[in-house]
Structure 1
Amino acid sequence: MGVLWKRRSNPLASAAFGGLRRLGVLGRVSVLTPTSETRQHFHAQLWQCFLAQNWPDKELVVVETYQTEPSSILNIRDPRLVHVTLKEDLNVGTKRNLCVLLASGQYCVNFDDDDFYAEGYCEAMVSELVRRNLGALTFSAWYNYFEDRGTCGYSDPAAWDCEDQAELEGDLYGYGFSYVHLRSLALQFPYPDLGFAEDAPFMLRLKNLGRAGLVEDARGLCMHVVHRSSSCIDPEVSQILSEEELEDLLVFDSEAFQAYLRQRAWPCLCS
């Protein structure tokens, strides 16, 4: 097992391992991303989305498993980056828990490496978490970008005709790309040791404890990208957006999303 460890050089570096700061550094946001060698082509946009966040005290914690070579894109020296590489085959639930352990922040914000986050995403989500005195928060409605079609759709599960309450709650609470939570809570109630669909049991447990809430992404703070290798292949949508509506979303003008559109040969959408 190989480990590449890059971390700020101060006494807080060992806090996550030793449990010396269970609550985390007050006010710090730890952006958490489990990833793998097969997803290294997403790492540039992940780093770009992190750098764009306007939250002042932030870090990016990445746990990457690999078989051949770890990410060269994340092989950089930056005091805000924690990049741990493991020559192992670990499931995503375990990697999410490792991210939490390695984090030093009071607040944990999940970033999926293949999705896009507007510069005010962390600020908006953490502020809502604090305002409502919650332990965890996730989107109840969100925007999807369908890569194969070049279209954007809005998913609002609460508006769907779903009579099965358990199924509805799974749709509402089961998308980990938008999870925000207190680090202390995730240490107490970790993700299940699963390779798929590890997110819903984690958040539903917090919901049943009265600690998790929902918020609608009405402004387009995030773009959930659906592509061939997505774990979510074909999400149901409530509305297909026009080009004008897509351009009004906060995430549309982000450098990372604009670069993505250019790579996908959709120049008409690039600003």
Structure 2
Amino acid sequence: RSSDMFRHIAAQDDRLVYLRFRCGQTTELSIGSKRNIAQHIATGDYIANFDDDDVYAPTYLSTMIRSMFEKSAAFVTLSSWYFFDIKSGRFGFFDALEYARVKNMREKDIDGWLWGYGFSYLHKLQPALDRKIDYPDQNMEEDIKYIRAWKQSLGDHCTVLHFDDLGIVCHTLHGRNTSNSFALWEVPRENVHDLEIA
């Protein structure tokens, strides 16, 4: 379905490209394929993934890019995030490293919790093009397979985690999320006003 809003925004800013694909009544491009198309038509230096039902602070991109550069990496993602649960009307906080510690997880078991949430992927474009690192043509787990391909091609040092204690993202839980997320801590509503997303 076409989006009048995105078409209007793209018409006002030549840095933005809005594409709509019609594949047929029963065929639809996978999330991985859509991300590959976006990556291959991009003209900037970075690729940032966004989830259409999450809230990103104005400082999100600069914070993530700074974190990536401070650690001399090419790829950054969040290891913690705030979220809002629509059903309960409550805010929460999830910390993947703390979750692994509490659950006494082995390193291989925590991998998906740390690296498998594509809503906060940000990376340099050129290494992906140079190394021909693409998303697999699928709708689920395309993000974790993509970051594993980065690590396999460039080494673990190319990826870093950013701990978000400032609230640069609010992940929305709406009951139809494809990935699992839950609160380790509830965040009182009055504390949310101090977050970057507010």
- Shorter-normalised TM-score: what interval? 0.7 to 0.9
Name the counterpart of 1:243: 189
Q: Unpaired segments of 5 or more residues in structure 1?
A: 1-36, 38-69, 253-271
Rounded Cα–Cα distance in structure 2 between residues aligned with 1:186 and 1:130 = 17
Q: Unpaired segments of 5 or more residues in structure 2?
A: none
How many Å apart are 1:186 and its aligned residue? 2.4
**Among 43, 46, 49, the residue aligned to 1:110:** 49
How many Å apart are 1:162 and its aligned residue? 4.1
How many Å apart are 1:194 and its aligned residue? 1.2
Whose RCO is larger (CA < 8 A, sep 6+)?
Answer: 2
Q: CA RMSD in A?
A: 1.4
Per-residue Cα deviation, 1:187-212 (whole angstroms, up to 9, x for no partner):
22111111111101111332352211
Rounded Cα–Cα distance in structure 2 between residues aligned with 1:196 and 1:147 = 23
2:48 matched to 1:85? no
Rounded Cα–Cα distance in structure 1 between residues aligned with 2:92 and 2:34 = 30
Name the counterpart of 2:136: 192
Q: Does the residue aligned with 1:172 lie in a helix, a strand or coil? A: helix
Question: Given residue 7 of structure 2, which amino acid in structure 1 is its aligned partner?
Answer: N
Name the counterpart of 1:153: 92
Please say if residues 162 and 168 of structure 1, whose CA atoms lie closer than 8 Å, have aligned partners that are also in contact: no
Q: TM-score scaled by structure 1? A: 0.64
Rounded Cα–Cα distance in structure 2 between residues aligned with 1:136 and 1:102 = 19
Question: Given residue 83 of structure 1, which amino acid in structure 2 is its aligned partner?
Answer: Y
Rounded Cα–Cα distance in structure 2 between residues aligned with 1:240 and 1:206 = 34
User: 1:23-34 alignment to 2 at 5 Å?
Assistant: none
Question: Given residue 197 of structure 2, which amino acid in structure 1 is its aligned partner?
Answer: V
How many Å apart are 1:158 and its aligned residue? 1.0
2:172 matched to 1:225? yes
Q: TM-score scaled by structure 2? A: 0.87
Please say if residues 153 and 237 of structure 1, whose CA atoms lie closer than 8 Å, have aligned partners that are also in contact: yes
Name whichever of 223-232 and 211-220 sits farther off: 223-232
Please say if residues 142 and 224 of structure 1, whose CA atoms lie closer than 8 Å, have aligned partners that are also in contact: yes
Name the counterpart of 2:120: 178
Q: Does the residue aligned with 2:17 lie in a helix, a strand or coil? A: strand
Q: Does the residue aligned with 2:87 lie in a helix, a strand or coil? A: coil
Rounded Cα–Cα distance in structure 1 between residues aligned with 2:197 and 2:151 = 28
Question: Given residue 74 of structure 1, which amino acid in structure 2 is its aligned partner?
Answer: F
Please say if residues 192 and 198 of structure 1, whose CA atoms lie closer than 8 Å, have aligned partners that are also in contact: yes
Name the counterpart of 1:130: 69
Rounded Cα–Cα distance in structure 2 between residues aligned with 1:106 and 1:200 = 22
How many Å apart are 1:90 and its aligned residue? 0.3
Rounded Cα–Cα distance in structure 2 between residues aligned with 1:225 and 1:157 = 17
Question: Given residue 173 of structure 1, which amino acid in structure 2 is its aligned partner?
Answer: W
Question: Given residue 119 of structure 2, which amino acid in structure 1 is its aligned partner?
Answer: F
How many residues are aligned here?
Answer: 183
Name the counterpart of 1:167: 109
Rounded Cα–Cα distance in structure 2 between residues aligned with 1:169 and 1:133 = 21
Question: Given residue 174 of structure 1, which amino acid in structure 2 is its aligned partner?
Answer: G
